[in-house]
Structure 1
Amino acid sequence: MSRLRQLRDALGYSQVKIQMLTGIDQSDYSKIENGKRHMSFEQCKRLAVALKTSMDYLAGLTDKPDPYPPARRR
Structure 2
Amino acid sequence: MYPRIRALREDHDLSQRQVAEMLGMSQTGYSKYETGENDIPTAVLIKLSTFYRTSVDYLLGLTPVSTPYPPSK
Query: Counterparts of 1:24 and 1:63 in 2: how far apart (Å)?
Result: 28
Q: Which runs of 5+ in 1 are unaligned?
A: none
Q: 1:49 to 1:69 in 2, by over 3 A?
A: closer
- Return the TM-score normalized by structure 2: 0.82
For each residue in 1:7-49, what CA deviation from the matched residue of structure 2 results, as whole angstroms up to 9, or x when unmatched?
A: 0000001111101222232111100101111011001111112
Quote the sequence identity (%). 36
Alignment of 1:26-41 (within 5 A): 26-41=27-42
Q: Which runs of 5+ in 2 are unaligned?
A: none
- Return the TM-score normalized by structure 1: 0.81
After the TM superposition, which segments of 4 or more aligned residues of structure 1 sit over 2 Å from their partners? 66-72
* Structure of higher RCO (CA pairs closer than 8 Å, 6+ residues apart): 2
Q: How many residues align?
A: 72
Query: Counterparts of 1:69 and 1:46 in 2: how far apart (Å)?
Result: 12
SS of residue in 2 equivalent to 1:12: coil
